[in-house]
A and B are shown apart, each in its own frame.
Chain A
Amino acid sequence: MNDATPAVEIRDLHKRFGHLEVLKGISLTARPGDVVAVIGGSGSGKSTMLRCINMLETPSAGDIAIHGETYAMRPTRDGGLEPADRRQLQRIRAQLGMVFQNFNLWPHRTVLGNVIEVPVQVLGISRDEAVARARQVLDRVGLAEKEDAYPAHMSGGQQQRCAIARVLAVEPLAMLFDEPTSALDPELVGEVLNVIRDLAAEKRTMILVTHEMSFARDVASHVVYLKDGRIEEQGPPEQIFGDPRSPHLQQFIRSIA
Chain B
Amino acid sequence: MIEAIDFSLLALTSPGWGGALLAGFLRSVELAAGGYLLGIVIGLLGATAKLYGGRVLRDIAEIYTLLIRAVPELVLMLLFYYVGTDLLNQLMAAFGREGIDIDGLSAGILVIGLVQGGYATEVFRGAIRAVPPGQIEAAQAFGMSPFRVLRRVTLPAMAPHALPGMANLWMIATKDTALLAVIGFSELTLVTKQAAAATREYFLFFFAAGLLYLALTLISNLGLRWLERRARRGLPAAA
Contacts and interface: CB of A to CB of B under 8 A. Distances in A.
B142 A108 contact: no
Contact of A56 (B132, B135, B141, B234): B141
B141 A151 contact: no
A108 B138 contact: no
A151 B6 CA distance: 60
A105 B135 CA distance: 6
Interface stretch (B57-65, B67-75, B143-151, B215-223): B143-151
B141 A54 contact: yes
A73 interface: no
Range of interface residues on chain A?
20 to 34
A226 to B, nearest CB: 21
B235 A152 contact: yes
A105 B136 CA distance: 10
Interface residues of B, number: 23
A170 B141 CA distance: 12
Chain B contact residues: helix, strand, loop or mixed: helix
B143 A107 contact: no
A93 interface: yes
B140 interface: yes
Q: By CB atoms of chain A within 10 A, which of B135, B138, B153 has the most? A: B138
A127 to B, nearest CB: 14
A93 B137 contact: no
Given A106-B157, A108-B233, A90 B145 contact: yes
29 contacts: A56-B141, A90-B145, A93-B140, A93-B141, A93-B142, A94-B142, A94-B143, A97-B142, A98-B141, A100-B134, A102-B134, A104-B132, A104-B135, A104-B137, A105-B135, A106-B139, A107-B157, A107-B234, A108-B156, A108-B157, A108-B233, A108-B235, A110-B234, A117-B142, A118-B142, A118-B143, A150-B234, A152-B236, A170-B142
